Amino acid sequence: MSEVVAVVPEAGVDDLGASALLALARSRKAAEDQAAADLLDLAARWADLHPPESIHLAAAFTTPGSEHEEPIAGEGCPPVDEFCVAELGAVLGISTTAAKKLIGHALELRHRLPRLWHQVHAGTVPAWRARSVAEATIHAVPALTREAASWVDDQVAAVAGKVGVAQLDRLVAETITRFQLAAPDPAADPEDGYLHVDPRHVTVLDQDVHFAGTVHVEADLDLADGLDLDHALAHDAATQKALGSTETLDVRRAKALGNLARTQTALDLATQTTPGDRAADQELPSLPAAREVVLHAHFDADLVGETTVFGPTGRMENRQKLLLLEQLQAWCADSRTKVTIKPVIDLNHNLTAPGYEIPASIREQVILRDRTCVFPHCTRPARRCDIDHVVAFDHDAEAEGRPQPGPTRSDNLACLCRSHHRLKTFTTWRYTMTQPGVYEWTSPHGHQFRRDRSGTIRIEPARP
């Protein structure tokens, strides 16, 4: 930012008129588009230098909620070494996932959408628009063949890439139909679809938490179950109103669904047996009255006299969302909410354990200290990460009478997501902890980055 401000007066921009300013803005935008096109080309060339090796996997996207993986680009594009992606992302100041998308888009455009690729480098189509087309053709369901992708390329290139999101969706759908890529759907006939596909489901869309602390729930239920649920919600909502609630019907019904979740019981399922189902003397394990949902909330607090005063806002570990103190107070006011207050953990205290296994107390301290995976620009929550020994634990040191080089100690432990844990193990990426929760990483090509709880910065080499 400061460099731009410094250049402006020298260029005499303050003296330019309206027409000249517009011309300058246009030239800057053209330079930005050219740089984006060049970056796509460089990403593709980076991929060319890094085909998968025998011990490395090809880079892919993991589908949330399953073990299914999607390639970073479509059929006909070369695979890319999974571990090369992280270094490109770190150098560009983006996450590994974002770098994976950049490389995938570049390969998709170069190999399956060549006309659009040419238009990008000719300056007739901006890179961002071409990348949106590549994103659509990579992740189309069902997957597009090379011929189908080529047809999309022809259609889009004919209008110089001037397609919006809705047009692009329709174009992909038309392509799937034209090339007969979709498998016959046995459920397409509403008269007998249920014989082939059971549509019942309940989905809690917790990937997108509203700032008000709500999530969207959608479901398809058996008719009788749906009517029973509606009756139960209506009854609970009416009870709330009779007890003095002034909230709207929609809010009371939403609260009623939460009440059902907390008070449901599977006692009959757990303890009753039906003759012929299992031996009479064999008991099913008892089930809890309600599933426990754990929310980790963190608030700053000050001691005023003998009273602890919490700040008005805090942080919820789940989804890394802002949390209001009044929200938390409302949740805790429910009589069925179990509140557990854990002692304050000193994040700077160096805890240690004698062996390789990491005790729960040290694991919790490291999770609270790091918050996320500590690889540059990674944001995966720490509770979903592995706890890594920064300096590897030597399992033979004690037997051979040598001091342990990688002790199980707070200052030698860090949170790494599984992908970046594997990268640290199988490549020449290296890192050290310079202070509690502060890490310095060195990439295979010598680029250095400092990562702490506020984010990632690049460590510039010392000037001679």
Task: State the SS3 of 21-40.
Answer: HHHHHHHHHHHHHHHHHHHH
Does residue 415 lie in a domain region?
yes
What confidence score (pLDDT) does residue 218 get? Answer: 87
Residue (of 300, 438, 441, 440) closest to 371 by Cα position:
438
User: How many structural domains compose the chain?
Assistant: 4
**Mean pLDDT value across residues 62-79:** 79
* Helices 18-48, 127-138: inter-axial angle, 10-degree rounding: 40
Task: Report whether pLDDT(211) > 50.
Answer: yes
Residues 315, 174, single domain; the answer is no
Q: Which of 223-227, 394-398, 399-403 has the lowest mean pLDDT?
A: 223-227
Q: Assess whether 222 and 305 both reside in one domain.
A: no
Residues 317 and 420 in one domain: no
Q: Which helix (H) or strand (E) holds 86?
A: helix 84-92
Give domain status of residue 8, yes or no: no
Distance CA 321, CA 84 (A): 31
Q: Is residue 323 part of a domain?
A: yes
| Maximal CA-CA distance, the chain | 93
* 114 found inside a domain: yes
| Domain range enclosing 235 | 199-271
Is 303 part of any domain? Answer: yes
Least-confidence region, from 288-297, 394-403, 437-446: 288-297
Sequence letter at residue 183: A
Is residue 287 in some structural domain?
Answer: no
Six token digits for residue 292: 């426990």
Same-domain pairing of 409 and 444: yes
Lowest mean pLDDT segment, chosen from 172-176, 290-294, 297-301, 388-392: 290-294
36-40, 284-288, 345-349, 356-360 — which is least confidently predicted? 284-288
- pLDDT value, residue 270: 41
Cα 193 to Cα 291: distance, rounded to the nearest angstrom: 33
Same domain (yes/no): 356, 224: no
For the stretch 281-327, pLDDT in tens is 455 444 444 445 566 777 766 777 777 777 777 767 755 666 777 77
Residue 86 neighbours by CB under 8 Å, 6+ apart: 96, 99, 375, 420, 423, 429, 443
Tell whether 109 and 207 lie within a shared domain: no
326 and 453, same domain (yes or no): no
Say whether both 72 and 147 belong to one domain. Answer: yes
Give Cα separations from 20 to 5, 6, 28, 158, 394 (angstroms). 18, 20, 12, 33, 67
Is 449 in a helix, a strand, or coil? strand
Cα→Cα distances 109→40, 143, 214, 238, 376, Å? 9, 16, 39, 58, 28
**158 in Cβ contact with 125 (< 8 Å):** no
The set of residues, in sequence order, having a beta carbon less than 8 Å from that of 262 and lying 6+ positions away, is 290, 334, 336
Give exposure, 209-229, as e/b (b: 16+ Cβ within 10 Å).
Answer: beeeeeeeeeeeeeeeeeeeb
Check whether residue 54 and residue 139 sit in a common domain: yes
Cα 33 from Cα 109, distance rounded (Å): 16
Query: Per the domain annotation, does 347 fall within a domain?
Result: no
In a domain, 187, yes or no: no
DSSP state letter for 156: H
For residue 185, what pLDDT is reported?
Answer: 57
Least confident of 280-294, 321-335, 419-433: 280-294
208 pLDDT exceeds 60? yes
Residue 373's pLDDT is what?
96
DSSP 207: T
Contacts of residue 267, defined as CB under 8 A and 6 or more positions apart, other chains included, come to: 286, 287, 289
Cβ–Cβ < 8 Å for 388, 432? no
Interval 196-224 mean pLDDT: 75
Which pLDDT belongs to residue 203?
Answer: 83
> Is the omega angle on the peptide bond into residue 142 within 30 degrees of 0, that is, cis?
yes
Tell me: do 166 and 43 sit in the same domain.
yes
Residues 324, 382: one domain? no
For the residues of 414-430, what is the DSSP string, one character each?
Answer: EEE-HHHHHHHHHSS-E
**Residues 111, 22 within the same domain:** yes
Which of these, 264, 241, 265, 243, lies nearest to 251 by C-alpha position? 241
